[in-house]
């Protein structure tokens, strides 16, 4: 009888919550670690929402290892210093086959005759090293053999620091989705890991995340970060876990240690397999190798594929696989004898600045560019590098004829990073003066308060038109293949286009009159242009080149407003209802459509047959029936903004906390309402979580 009842009984909230968490962890692992999701984002959101709702109903069941708890409170007093279980060392470098051969010979000599050596080759990820400490749940110590029911929780994440003492950045590392917050007992058993252990590895910023973050910095008038490593290191040390969560860092594991810093496995290759089995992201580019030639093969292949990886590597790490042999080989000062880094040829070079010229972009932005004595960096000849803006030149104290270090980082555009000076490379003498007028059209240039860039204000500036056409035609925007630099230059020189809309007036005869244009390419281009008429609203919006409107914002605006007409008349206030649209963006949109020329452009595009089609998003009613109380200062949203957003999504905002309150949204210096919420066990969330509930990112 009892068993029948228990069979019939529905699961308790606690059981349902655990089941949902397991499911979410499983899908997070597939998505963030394996890059192989099995369900759509929307289906994933449904499960997360159900868990959030249940946790809201049963706040007493919320545990720190819940997938909903990645973004927690801010670290209160910076980052405490904590000693490492054993020092985090660096590696000796080699930069040629010859040096590597020497290292291999020394290893073999020390190992002794007749000792077979197996190496593991791994990519040398260009990030920052991190130690993650996992502990048996609830402090229950257990060995793998009897750990059947003990899972491991992430309890601490330490930066390398000075190698002996690191900084505790746990709150930030928890937001990295490829870092498991807990490892289940089953996984531990499968991976042959105890439930208390340490994982070491590298935190990196994927290039996509880097480029996006830099785009945002530029949109905000900030100088872009130099490279993904610096940006990752800076991000890990910010005091805002929210920001860290948005930057989408990644973690790759490469060592498995006991809590006291001993190796957990007798072979490095086994350690990597175990970490994979436990759910950590381990770089798939790894190989057990026995002969020197194969090591060089691995290095050469790695260098060849370096550009296609989506994250930066700066070499290959070669490790003796046997930990017993590692111990015998030992250490020299700061580096192990049993491992070495083969560093690729630097992606930086030193050369001389021959001139500084100022380019005008499609939004009128003036960018100073260094014209360099050509230098080969990482296999590519570099003769131009960006100098970002006038302030940057000032900070460097850069003069024409100076020698500079140029880096090719994650960005395609090389950049000047510093001025170098020595006997052979003396300082230059010619001071550079930033122009007072547009170098292309001689119009006035302005620099808005708080912005780093000067802009040409002339909307008819030929340079702006040229860049606008190139942007409009480019891949990911209107995808007009065949409308590249050479074609655009000719069209402008012959005065065949003086506006984006003129592209739709081009005909075969006109195109055939251009140089190096045959019948076939003329027809293809016309077909491409015709095809672009069907581009959806979001791409046209992006293509118009409105300041601050990138791909994503254009998409959000198109979803929210559903038509060009609705958007053209929207007030700043209405525009700001869109997640991620703030006053600067809304003002830019308004200014764009308030300009008669731009309205005429839209009408001309419409007249030529552009459809601007978009599907309006269903009004969200995610917050239907929920009551919110706002308290304290939120990091980004004003009270009014937060209220408007909640109400638009169907929720209610009330002034006082009661048992009926669904959520208290607390910001900085929240007062008695927060206490009341805690007393009544009303869930307290921060701004980021509110935005999540609102269906944003």
Pairing of strands 627-631, 652-654: parallel
Distances, alpha carbon 376 to alpha carbons 302, 315, 420, 539, in Å: 20, 19, 17, 37
Over the window 299 to 318, marking each residue x when it contacts ligand IVH by CB under 6 A and - when it does not, the resulting string is ------------------x-
Options 52, 66, 129, 538; binder of ligand IVH; rule CB under 6 A: 129
Closer of 336 and 683 to ligand IVH (Cβ):
336
**Three-state DSSP string of 333-348:** CCEECCEEEEECCCCE
Options 232, 236, 339, 665; binder of ligand IVH; rule CB under 6 A: 339
Options 90, 359, 383, 555; binder of ligand IVH; rule CB under 6 A: 90
Over the window 180 to 209, marking each residue x when it contacts ligand IVH by CB under 6 A and - when it does not, the resulting string is ----------------------x-------
Closer of 190 and 294 to ligand IVH (Cβ):
294
Burial class (CB in 10 A: 0-12, 13-18, 19+), 296: middle
Options 122, 267, 312, 407; binder of ligand IVH; rule CB under 6 A: 122
Options 329, 341, 406, 567; binder of ligand IVH; rule CB under 6 A: 341
CB burial of 393-405 (b: ≥16 within 10 Å; e: otherwise) equals: beebebbbebbbb
Q: At what angle do helices 596-608 and 583-594 cross, to 10 degrees?
A: 70
E strand or H helix that includes residue 446: strand 445-446
263 binds ligand IVH (CB under 6 A): no
Q: How far apart are CA 458 and CA 102, in angstroms?
A: 63
How near is the Cβ of 87 to ligand IVH at its closest, in Å? 9
Given the residues 74, 124, 148, 415, the one annotated as active site: 124
Q: DSSP code of 193?
A: -
254 binds ligand IVH (CB under 6 A): yes
What is the DSSP annotation of 145-158? GG-TT--EEEEEEE
Closer of 336 and 462 to ligand IVH (Cβ):
336
89 binds ligand IVH (CB under 6 A): yes
Options 51, 91, 272, 517; binder of ligand IVH; rule CB under 6 A: 91
Closer of 254 and 472 to ligand IVH (Cβ):
254
Q: Which residue is nearest to ligand IVH (CB)?
A: 129
Which residue stretch of 124-132, 138-146, 444-452, 577-585 sits at the interface with ligand IVH (rule: CB under 6 A)?
A: 124-132
Q: How far apart are CA 419 and CA 621, in angstroms?
A: 56
Which residue stretch of 62-70, 258-266, 335-343, 494-502 sits at the interface with ligand IVH (rule: CB under 6 A)?
A: 335-343
Phi and psi at 129, nearest 5°, equal -80, 150
Contact 75, 239 (CB under 8 A): yes
Joined tokens for residue 563: 């038509």
Closer of 339 and 649 to ligand IVH (Cβ):
339
Joined tokens for residue 683: 């869930």
Helix-then-strand count for the chain, H and E: 26, 27
β-bridge mates for residue 202, sequence order: 129, 252
Which residue stretch of 89-97, 148-156, 218-226, 414-422 sits at the interface with ligand IVH (rule: CB under 6 A)?
A: 89-97
Closer of 90 and 474 to ligand IVH (Cβ):
90
Closer of 90 and 269 to ligand IVH (Cβ):
90
Contact 287, 293 (CB under 8 A): no
Over the window 608 to 647, marking each residue x when it contacts ligand IVH by CB under 6 A and - when it does not, the resulting string is ----------------------------------------
Asked if 137 is an active-site residue, the reply is no
Which residue stretch of 85-93, 148-156, 492-500, 542-550 sits at the interface with ligand IVH (rule: CB under 6 A)?
A: 85-93
Q: How far apart are CA 528 and CA 507, in angstroms?
A: 12
| Active-site residue list | 124
User: What residues make contact with ligand IVH under the rule CB under 6 A?
Assistant: 89-91, 122, 124-125, 129, 202, 254, 317, 336, 339, 341
């Amino acid at each position: 009888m009892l068993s029948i009842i228990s069979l019939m009984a529905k699961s308790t909230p606690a059981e349902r919550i655990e089941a949902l968490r397991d499911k979410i962890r499983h899908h997070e692992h597939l998505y963030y670690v394996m890059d192989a999701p099995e369900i759509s984002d929307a289906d994933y959101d449904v499960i997360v929402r159900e868990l959030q709702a249940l946790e809201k109903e049963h706040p007493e069941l919320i545990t720190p290892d819940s997938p909903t708890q990645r973004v927690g409170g801010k670290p209160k007093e910076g980052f405490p210093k904590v000693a490492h279980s054993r020092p985090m060392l660096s590696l000796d470098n080699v930069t040629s086959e010859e040096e590597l051969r020497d290292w291999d010979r020394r290893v073999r000599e020390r190992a002794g005759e007749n000792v077979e050596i197996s190496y593991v080759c791994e990519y040398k990820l260009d990030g920052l090293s991190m130690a993650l400490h996992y502990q048996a749940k609830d402090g229950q110590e257990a060995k793998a053999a009897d750990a059947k029911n003990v899972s491991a929780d992430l309890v601490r994440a330490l930066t390398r620091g000075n190698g002996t003492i690191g900084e505790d950045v746990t709150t930030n590392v928890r937001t990295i989705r490829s870092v498991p917050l807990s490892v289940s007992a089953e996984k531990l058993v499968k991976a042959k890991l105890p439930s208390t252990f340490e994982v070491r590895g590298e935190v990196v910023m994927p290039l996509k995340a880097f480029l996006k973050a830099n785009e945002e910095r530029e949109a905000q008038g900030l100088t872009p970060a130099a490279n993904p490593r610096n940006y990752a290191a800076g991000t890990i040390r910010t005091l805002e876990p929210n920001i860290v969560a948005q930057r989408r860092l990644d973690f790759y594991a490469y060592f498995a240690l006991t809590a006291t810093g001993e190796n957990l496995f007798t072979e490095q290759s086994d350690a990597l397999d175990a970490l994979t089995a436990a759910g950590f992201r381990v770089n798939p580019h790894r190989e057990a190798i026995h002969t020197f030639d194969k090591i060089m093969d691995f290095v050469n292949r790695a260098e060849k594929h370096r550009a296609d990886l989506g994250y930066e590597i700066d070499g290959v790490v070669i490790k003796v696989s046997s930990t017993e042999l590692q111990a015998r080989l030992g250490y020299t000062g700061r580096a192990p004898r049993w491992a070495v880094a083969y560093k690729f040829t630097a992606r930086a070079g030193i050369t001389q600045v021959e001139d500084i010229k100022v380019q005008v972009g499609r939004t009128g932005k003036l960018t100073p560019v260094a014209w360099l004595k050509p230098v080969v960096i990482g296999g590519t000849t570099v003769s131009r590098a960006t100098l970002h803006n006038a302030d940057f030149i000032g900070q460097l104290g850069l003069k024409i004829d100076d020698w500079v270090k140029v880096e090719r980082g994650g960005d395609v555009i090389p950049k000047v990073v510093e001025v170098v000076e020595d006997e052979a490379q003396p300082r230059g003498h010619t001071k550079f003066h930033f122009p007072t007028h547009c170098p292309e059209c001689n119009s006035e240039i302005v620099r808005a308060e708080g912005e780093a860039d000067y802009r040409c204000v002339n909307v008819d500036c030929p340079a702006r038109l040229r860049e606008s056409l190139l942007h409009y035609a480019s891949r990911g925007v209107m995808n007009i293949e065949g409308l590249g630099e050479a074609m655009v230059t000719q069209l402008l020189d012959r005065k065949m286009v003086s506006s984006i809309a003129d592209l739709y007036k081009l005909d075969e005869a006109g195109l055939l009159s251009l140089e190096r244009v045959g019948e076939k390419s003329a027809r293809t281009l016309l077909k491409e242009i015709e095809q672009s008429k069907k581009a959806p609203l979001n791409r046209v919006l992006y293509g118009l080149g409105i300041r601050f409107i990138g791909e994503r914002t254009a998409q959000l605006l198109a979803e929210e407003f559903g038509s060009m007409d609705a958007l053209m008349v929207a007030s700043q206030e209405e525009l700001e209802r869109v997640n991620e649209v703030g006053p600067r963006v809304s003002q830019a949109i308004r200014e764009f459509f308030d300009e008669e020329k731009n309205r005429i452009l839209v009408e001309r595009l419409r007249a030529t047959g552009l459809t601007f089609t978009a599907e309006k998003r269903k009004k969200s009613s995610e917050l239907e029936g929920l009551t919110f109380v706002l308290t304290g200062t939120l990091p980004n949203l004003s009270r009014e903004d937060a209220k408007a957003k909640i109400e638009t999504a169907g929720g209610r905002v009330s002034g006082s906390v009661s048992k009926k309150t669904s959520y208290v949204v607390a910001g900085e210096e929240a007062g008695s309402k927060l206490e009341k919420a805690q007393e009544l066990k009303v869930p307290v969330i921060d701004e980021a979580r509110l935005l999540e509930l609102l269906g944003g990112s």
